[in-house]
């Protein structure tokens, strides 16, 4: 199950100098940590209480992540957060700042999602636009370019996005961290949204059937 996110707003009901007990593994945003320090609030994590016979973390905790040269540095930072939050990840490249082509890495993540190697994916380039376009060419991929907490939440809650696209040159690393935290902990709402996501799948299926190999008229 995705981790809980503690934001600065969640601290409003805690008096200065007080203590806030949160589940172990809760993602504390940078703004929340700053607000707690400023008001003398201690954030304490509960001791874990695993259920008897609890299983190994499921495959749903595996995240596929990749970036081109423009997103390499942010990819490395986000990997450390995933590790801190208890996720495992598949790093599908790139491995340096040397120039590469973003479609290759976007496709690699999308393929990993469709195959079931990971439940969710992250793709990063300078603007995030090209990678999201490329990933969405793979049937079954629903990549969403997110640039704040609201778009991150909406893409998961309403669209059941399974790939997060980020623009490393357009958002600060700390903003990317918070976007990722919200995106990971927001479940798909289902209900009326399921019908709409099903229509997206139907469009995809119709065009997959009508597609012809290159060179055929």
Catalytically annotated residues: 158
Among candidate residues 32, 34, 24, 96, the one with its CA nearest the CA of residue 67? 96
Paired sense of beta strands 42-45 and 62-67, if any? unpaired
């Amino acid at each position: 199950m995705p981790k809980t996110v503690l934001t600065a707003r969640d601290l409003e009901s805690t008096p200065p100098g007080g203590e806030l007990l949160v589940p172990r593994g809760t993602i504390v945003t940078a703004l929340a940590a700053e607000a707690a320090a400023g008001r003398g609030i201690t954030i304490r994590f509960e001791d874990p209480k695993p259920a008897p016979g609890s299983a190994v973390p499921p495959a749903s905790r595996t995240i596929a992540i990749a970036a081109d040269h423009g997103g390499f540095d942010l990819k490395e930072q986000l990997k450390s957060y995933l590790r801190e939050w208890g996720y495992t990840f598949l790093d599908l490249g790139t491995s340096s700042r040397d120039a590469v082509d973003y479609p290759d890495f976007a496709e690699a993540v999308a393929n990993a999602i469709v195959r079931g190697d990971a439940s969710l994916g992250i793709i990063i380039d300078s603007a995030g636009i090209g990678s999201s376009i490329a990933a969405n060419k793979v049937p079954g991929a629903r990549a969403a370019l997110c640039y704040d907490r609201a778009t991150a939440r909406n893409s998961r809650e309403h669209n059941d996005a399974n790939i997060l696209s980020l623009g490393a040159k357009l958002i600060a690393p700390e903003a990317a961290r918070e976007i990722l935290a919200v995106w990971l902990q927001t479940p798909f709402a289902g209900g009326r949204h399921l019908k709409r996501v099903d229509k997206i799948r139907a469009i995809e299926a119709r065009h997959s059937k009508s597609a012809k190999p290159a060179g055929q008229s």
